[in-house]
Amino acid sequence: MDEKEIERLLDKFDRSSLKNFELAQDDFKLKFSKRDDEHVVVEDSAAAGSVNADSSGHGQSVETKAAPQSEPAVDQNAAEIKAPLVGVVYFAPSPDKPAFKKQGDHVEKGDVVCVIEAMKMINEVKSDVTGTISNILVEDGSMVEYDQPIFQVTKG
């Protein structure tokens, strides 16, 4: 992977809602992680260190890793619908169709709430809970990672 490809990935990662991204190819590993102070930490195991880049894309070499992020408080009556795979999330079956579910909509267990495109395939994401969608946690068309929460659902 050359520097241009890494810069392109870093730019897309910076514009996405992802907090962490990891890529491994043979003996090459690349990790991106966002911290709360909006800096992006890039770790490249093939290189001799990391790059700490601000949101403008300018960086400097550093030897540190991102600090682990604390989990937000979870309401006992709320559940999350999480991404079952890595890909691009879409809230409607196509651009000219209405969204599967919107904030405030009732959702039954087994209802399709969105789709994730991965490797040119569209995968339906079904709710594993019954309740009301109280919050949408990602943007339509954004990249999601495995097990990343997409919706918060108030049970009931």
pLDDT, greater one: 56 or 7: 7
- Residue 70 lies inside a defined structural domain of this protein: no
Phi, psi of 128 (to 5 degrees): -105, 10
Q: How far apart are CA 83 and CA 86, in angstroms?
A: 7
Same domain as 85, residue 138 = yes
Query: Range of 12's domain?
Result: 3-62
Same domain as 135, residue 104 = yes
Same domain as 48, residue 83 = no
Q: How far apart are CA 81 and CA 113, in angstroms?
A: 9
* Average pLDDT over all residues of the chain: 77
Domain limit, last residue, from 62, 88, 108: 62
Q: How confident is the model at residue 59 (pLDDT cuts 50, 70, 90)?
A: very low
Name beta bridge partners: 117. Answer: 88, 122
Residues 126-156 as b/e (b if ≥16 CB within 10 A, e otherwise) read: ebebebbbbebebeeeebbbeebbbbbbeee
Same domain as 90, residue 143 = yes
Same domain as 51, residue 13 = yes
Q: How far apart are CA 45 and CA 79, in angstroms?
A: 36
- Residue 71 lies inside a defined structural domain of this protein: no
Q: How far apart are CA 36 and CA 24, in angstroms?
A: 25
In the chain, the number of structural domains is 2
Does the pLDDT of residue 151 top 60, yes or no?
Answer: yes
CATH number at residue 143: 2.40.50.100
- Residue 73 lies inside a defined structural domain of this protein: no
- Residue 90 lies inside a defined structural domain of this protein: yes
Same domain as 109, residue 53 = no
Same domain as 83, residue 41 = no
Same domain as 149, residue 87 = yes
> 119-144 pLDDT, tens per residue?
889 999 999 999 999 999 999 999 99
Q: Tell me if residue 13 falls in helix, strand or coil.
A: helix
Q: How far apart are CA 42 and CA 20, in angstroms?
A: 10
